[in-house]
Amino acid sequence: MPKTLPKNLNFHSPVLATVAVDWLDIKQQGRYIDATLGGGGHTQEIIRRGGQVLGLDQDPEALAACPDLDQLTKVQTNFIHLGEVAREHGFQNAAGILFDLGVSQHQVEEPSRGFSWQQDGPLDMRMGTTAVTAAELINQLPEKELASIITRFGEEHQAKAIARRIVAHRPLTTTRELFSLVGRPDQGRRVFQAIRIAINDELGAVTTALPQALEVLRPGGRLVVISFHSLEDRLVKQQFAAWSSLGQGQILTAKPVLGERGSKLRAFMKKL
């Protein structure tokens, strides 16, 4: 095997790549699930260290961008189906599972995907192919619900005023139109994050997938989760604490490991 595998850094430059894979504690020929394959940065490191990978992503562009490797099985799916997909592909009793949550750089930087407040594009923001688009959500939701999403998922104090301006200017079709109604760049970041989390049901997906991950892990197997905002990290922290108090395993990271772009990593080991 070549020492360094081809990386797809134009698509996504992985955060905490070696650290995350260190926490997975790769065993030769061990079976690992990368629940958020993206451009395959973490997966390539797992394979370089001798693991076999089942890589999931709901974004067909990620599946196409990730290199095809003998030790990798790629599946386009939402990780809410992790348990079922793992069993279908013989990855039950996995040695380790990785979630690198959120969006890829490709998704954010490609204007046609509509994730960025900094570039003009259609109001889309779907990571996969099934959710409603950002335009559908923004143009149809009652003002109160829109404000609630911006408050809950964006933690934005001006949510009510922003929702009022959005409703007064509907229908909106582009990211530039939305950003022009928001105000400052920091508010743009929070409002776009809120809408993205809502349409992709990001917190619901993590809540649904984590118990499946624990079930699919073999005894002593490791679960590593990288998150990028406090809402996600809180869910992971609470789930790990609940499992630990039920005697289902051990939290390996007393405090989260901090990485680039505000990322936090937490690791858990299923009881032997």
Ligand X SMILES: C[S@@+](CC[C@H](N)C(=O)[O-])C[C@H]1O[C@@H](n2cnc3c(N)ncnc32)[C@H](O)[C@@H]1O
Interacting residue ranges for ligand X, rule: CB under 6 A = 12, 14, 36, 38-42, 56-59, 62, 78-79, 100, 102-104, 127, 205
Does residue 99 contact residue 56 with C-beta atoms inside 8 Å? no
Complex with ligand X: residue 58 or 151, whichever CB lies closer? 58
- Cα–Cα distance between 272 and 270 in angstroms, integer? 6
Complex with ligand X: residue 104 or 158, whichever CB lies closer? 104
Closest separation between CB of residue 162 and ligand X, Å? 25
Complex with ligand X: residue 14 or 30, whichever CB lies closer? 14
Which residues neighbour 245 within 8 Å (Cβ) at sequence distance 6 or greater? none
End-to-end CA distance of the chain: 32
Complex with ligand X: residue 67 or 220, whichever CB lies closer? 67
Closest separation between CB of residue 40 and ligand X, Å? 6
231: which 2 tokens?
């809402």
Closest separation between CB of residue 65 and ligand X, Å? 8
Closest separation between CB of residue 219 and ligand X, Å? 26
Closest separation between CB of residue 228 and ligand X, Å? 8
Complex with ligand X: residue 39 or 187, whichever CB lies closer? 39
SS3 content of the chain, % helix, strand, coil (to 5): 45, 15, 35
Q: What Cα–Cα distance (Å) separates residue 266 from each residue in 20, 83, 127, 239?
A: 9, 21, 24, 11
